[in-house]
Amino acid sequence: MIPAPEIEKILFTEEQIQARIQELGTEISESYAGREIKLISVLKGSIFFLTALTRAISIPVKMDFLAISSFGSSRAAPGVVRISKDLDESIEGEDVLLVEDIIDTGLTVRYLLHTLAGRQPNSIAVCTFLDKTPRRLVQVPVRFRCFEIPDRFVVGFGLDHNQLYRNLPYVAVMKP
């Protein structure tokens, strides 16, 4: 696919993404062998990763979704989020895997982990597609991740810039 003009370079191709997700699916299936997991995906960005990941997991999976909205611009109040669409079902007693598209400062995941942990799951862990570790402000336990990335703004495979580019099958760096 020809990149859009706003795109500087492709970071991970469709093939690289697919191969890495396959590995991660195996790793998750082995870690939770004999159990059932509930994948919780944060709308909208992580649904692309979620659907690919579930097909690479061989143990039984359930899915549920939540959406969050930030208060104002993330620069003005980083990490101040609220749940705008909650889960449909209880997670009590379940082995929960929180599936994220990208962890940047870590503030969103910290908030979600704290909120979900209060609902008595049997266990809760984080699985992220991309991990922008150089930008981390708070430490969050990341159990599974596909790729670490540098401090650049990326789009594609679910990640957006003003709601665009989510449908790109690769991950690309935007021009500054």
Within 13 A of 155's CA, how many CA atoms are on the CB side?
A: 19
As given in the structure block, the two tokens for residue 84 are 């705008």
Q: Choosing among Mg ion, ligand IMP, none, which partner's interface includes residue 144 (Cβ < 5 to 8 Å by kind)?
A: none
Our answer to whether residue 104 is catalytic in this structure is: yes
Using the minimum distance from each CB to Mg ion, give the nearer residue, 32 or 40: 40
Among 25, 32, 37, 45, binds Mg ion (CB under 5 A): 45
Q: What is the closest distance, in whole angstroms, from the C-beta atom of residue 123 to ligand IMP in the complex?
A: 22
Distance CA 66, CA 99 (A): 11
Q: What is the closest distance, in whole angstroms, from the C-beta atom of residue 100 to Mg ion in the complex?
A: 6
| 82, 69 Cβ separation under 8 angstroms | yes
Among 154, 168, 171, 172, binds ligand IMP (CB under 6 A): 154
Q: Choosing among ligand IMP, Mg ion, none, which partner's interface includes residue 103 (Cβ < 5 to 8 Å by kind)?
A: ligand IMP
As given in the structure block, the two tokens for residue 13 are 């191709």
* Sheet of 154-155, strands arranged across: 7-12, 171-174, 154-155
Using the minimum distance from each CB to ligand IMP, give the nearer residue, 119 or 136: 136
By rule CB under 6 A, what string of x and - marks binding of each residue 79-118 to ligand IMP? x----------------------xxxxxxxx---------
Among 113, 142, 159, 171, binds ligand IMP (CB under 6 A): 159
Residue 37 binds to ligand IMP (criterion: CB under 6 A): no
Residue 24 binds to ligand IMP (criterion: CB under 6 A): no
Distance CA 32, CA 143 (A): 12
DSSP string over 96-145: EEEEEEEESSSHHHHHHHHHHHTT--SEEEEEEEEE-GGG-SS-----EE
**What residues line the site for Mg ion (CB under 5 A)?**
45
